[in-house]
Chains A and B, each alone.
Chain A
């Protein structure tokens, strides 16, 4: 079974600063996909970024980037120039071609202070 671990229940960052959220996963699959989702107080789960395991290049979406370390099974999210609107729960998730489910971590609550 695949598991996703987010070891930081809460993180805090000042506006305009950079923060990194950690995620590790466990799998025996070679072909899989990793995601970061954001869930603000409105509860809507919003896709932040996606990474294909076969790609060596780290995915980037504007201020959001990942550090994907396949051998270490690590997938961290870096948020640059943090904004107040970035405050939310952030979930790391995993899926593979052999299954249907997204396997989620327990989430990291990010607080952004002015």
Chain B
């Protein structure tokens, strides 16, 4: 595996379900990100981890809970989501933060029913 991978690629869940999105980077980077991409809106940054510590939480509802157990893995735990949370969730990584180029995974397409 190379680059940034995400699983699952597609997910359908009910509003009462609990699920998790997984991201793994094989680039030796120290920073990882979650972005949300909704139709007709620019990408929105959700969370940033640098050296496994959360450095930014961009006013994201508590029904989204990130976890970064090590610098290669990032999770997004989902519970009691709303239909408006349906979107493409993109993971990215970079060597550091700030000016470093971010490299993206293929995304997880989430549909909340």
The reply on A55 being an interface residue by CB < 8 A is no
Q: Are B42 and A105 in contact (CB under 8 A)?
A: yes
In chain A, what residue has the closest Cβ to B88?
A43
Q: Are A44 and B56 in contact (CB under 8 A)?
A: no
Give the B-binding residues of A (Cβ under 8 A). 4, 31-33, 35, 37, 42-47, 50, 52, 91, 95-107
Q: Which of B45, B56, B92, B98 has the most C-beta atoms of chain A within 10 angstroms of its own C-beta?
A: B98
Number of B interface residues, CB 8 Å? 26
Give the A-binding residues of B (Cβ under 8 A). 31, 33, 40-43, 45, 48, 50, 55-56, 58, 88, 90, 92, 97-99, 101-107, 109
In the assembled complex, the Cα of A14 lies from the Cα of B69 at a distance in Å of: 48
Q: Are B106 and A106 in contact (CB under 8 A)?
A: no
Q: Are B42 and A97 in contact (CB under 8 A)?
A: no
B98 touches which of A45, A50, A96 (Cβ 8 Å) = A96
Q: Are B104 and A98 in contact (CB under 8 A)?
A: no
B42 contact set on A, CB distance < 8 A: 4, 103-107
Q: Which of A46, A99, A102 has the most C-beta atoms of chain B within 10 angstroms of its own C-beta?
A: A102
In the assembled complex, the Cα of A91 lies from the Cα of B36 at a distance in Å of: 15
